Every structure is written in structure tokens, then in C-alpha cells.
A and B are shown apart, each in its own frame.
Chain A
């Protein structure tokens, strides 16, 4: 089955700097790669996703890149703000309808 590895487990950045979180996956049939943000005590919230027919997707300060050959994808947050502090999870699935396999999460702290 699919296995998703996520690094780093914790990340501290200064406000205004960029943050990068990386994930690798094992199943070459995976085609859908979402990123979730989870604040303490809250449900995961989708922040961006990418499908395998696209190499990069951007939404304001957030971007995701996908390298299907190497089986890895990354989340990039630019101009970080204190409200970006949260736990971020990557995930993978064969399609949007099949269950997601999650990474273990990255705790991002943005220091003002």
C-alpha cells in the first residue's frame, strides 16, 4: 500500500521568511496530493492540492510542486506570518475518491 513520509517534523522560521515542507510517496499510481493545515483542537483544512497532470500550483503565498518521477511533492509558504503557525499534513491517493494516506505532519512555528 501507499506510504507517505513527511519532513521535517518541526520547523521554526522568522516572520517574513519562507517555509518548505517535503513529502515522498511510494505508490506510483497515486495521482492526487493535497495539503492540510490543522490548528490546535480543530479539524484539518485543505489549503492547496495538486493533481498528477500538473507540476506546480500556486495560490497567493502558498505553492505546491510535484515531481512524479522522483515521487515527491513540496509545500512552499512565502512571507510567513504568525497565523501560519499550525501543523501541516501532506497526503496522497489514487484519485480524489479513494482514501487519503497522510504523512505524520510538520509543526510550523512562525516567530514574530
Chain B
């Protein structure tokens, strides 16, 4: 199993540009999450999904959108990038059914200038 994969690893965006951060997992996990981690800070939840077709907002959803058309994929869309979105983005997944460990992807480091 590849586990949780994220692409790209690094990206520099200009203010106002848009992009999609990709996240995929091959463990058939129902639950998936997007977090952002600002320098020297903990992780904050952006959006999450409890299964294909179901998404919900987290603590910091403004400026982002998600979709979950399949169990495997959970892309995060940034529209009109702003410097405040400069951060490291982590995707994570959980199996559910009594299995609690969150598996994290390697992260995407995004800089908006």
C-alpha cells in the first residue's frame, strides 16, 4: 500500500491564482481530512469527509473547496490564492469502525507571493 499520497510536494503561487492539491489513499478508508499547519503552530482542520459524496467544513474553510467523488480521492481547491494561505497542507485518513489512527500524507508546502 502507498498509504496517503499528496501532490505536489511544493508549489509557489501568485496572488489570485488557483490550484488543486491532490490527496489519495489506497487503504479504503472512509474518513478523510485536510489540515493546514502554519509555521510553529499546530494543525487546523480545513474540511473533512465521512464518505464519498459527503463533505463538511472545519475550523478554517474560507478560501477553500473540496469534493469527494470517490472513496480514494479528496482534492482541495484553492480559489484566488492569498498570502494568508501560505502554509503546509496535510491530508489524512482514518479507517473507521473502531480503528482510530489517522494516517497522514507527506504534505504540500505552498507559498503564495
Where the two chains meet, the residues of A that have a C-beta atom closer than 8 Å to any C-beta of B are 1, 6, 32, 34, 42-46, 49, 51, 89, 95-97, 99-105
Contacts and interface: CB of A to CB of B under 8 A. Distances in A.
A101 B58 CA distance: 10
B98 to A, nearest CB: 7
B99 A96 contact: yes
B42 A34 contact: no
Interface string B38-49: 001111110010
Contacts of B105: 43
B104 A97 contact: no
B41 A104 contact: yes
Contacts of A101: 45
A63 to B, nearest CB: 18
B74 interface: no
Contacts of A95: 100
Given A43-B107, A103-B42, A96 B98 contact: yes
A46 B101 CA distance: 7
B43 A89 contact: yes
B42 A97 contact: no
Given A43-B105, A99-B58, A32 B100 contact: yes
A102 B101 contact: no
B100 A102 contact: no
A24 to B, nearest CB: 14
Q: Most B CB atoms within 10 A — which of A1, A89, A99?
A: A99
A92 to B, nearest CB: 12
Given A46-B101, A104-B41, A105-B41, A97 B90 contact: no
Contact of B96 (A45, A97, A99, A102): A97
Interface in B40-90: 40-45, 48, 50, 58-59, 90
B45 A99 contact: yes
A52 to B, nearest CB: 12
A1 B102 CA distance: 20
A97 B43 contact: no
16 contacts: A34-B102, A42-B106, A43-B90, A43-B106, A45-B104, A89-B42, A89-B43, A96-B94, A96-B102, A97-B50, A99-B58, A100-B45, A102-B42, A102-B43, A103-B42, A105-B42
